[in-house]
Structure 1
Amino acid sequence: MKTHFEVINSSSDEVNVDRALKNWIKAVATFHECYSKLAAHMSQKELHRHMPKFLYVGQCSKRQITTLLKRMGSELERLIQDMDRGEGTNQLSTPMDFRKLVQHTCLLNRLNDQARIRLHLISQPAS
């Protein structure tokens, strides 16, 4: 995954639009996939019906999963609001808009990394 600094050409301070959009699309798709998987683990009827007192799913605490799901939801809402504060257009037309997109992609990727860790822990058998 390219970092913020690898996507921006430091000499001209212009964003490689194509790469930034591809990275953002990939980050959003991964975000959706990870969020859906985490939410599915927390909503399993079997989990709540047969193991209501258990605090872990695999090797991951329910609290960690719930906290991450809430953070992912609130960060996504914040990112949407941030992009909506633009000039009222649906296009990314200024270098600042593209920088925001790159920053948002980095944040989504950090959340995706945290979600992948939780999903890995969930897949491990309880000790």
Structure 2
Amino acid sequence: MHRHGGKQAFWIGGDVQWLPCGAEFIVADVIRWREPVWKPQPRNSKKKPVMLGHRTVIGQIARIDRGGWVHVQVAACTVEPSPRCLRPLYPLQVGEDIKRQRGKIGQGKVDRLPWSDESARAAIVGSRFAKV
């Protein structure tokens, strides 16, 4: 992890190129996306939700459910609080398993690490047995 101008940048194995993938990722991909952090409030609240900041998550896809839920194991996480946020925001724990909807992850400008053998990944994506 290096610091650049007050922000934290994670380096995995040196200078790594991330490939944009949107919501088109498969099991075993390592992905990076950015998601908002919202202030918790009761479900029956009529107040407008307050965004406390953003969270950048790097993780590996463990599995994808039939219902569209993606199970991700967190490899790294950084938090960027908004200027008006008064409470501390905590990053997700490394190794923690989280569950997100595929569409919600796809909204956060998703990038993936390239495989060492992209032809193997292409064969998996092209297979009729792959659950994408």
- TM-score band by shorter chain is under 0.3
- Whichever structure has more strand as a proportion of its residues is 2
What TM-score do you get using the length of structure 1 for normalisation?
A: 0.21
Q: Which has the higher contact order (CA 8 A, sep 6+)?
A: 1
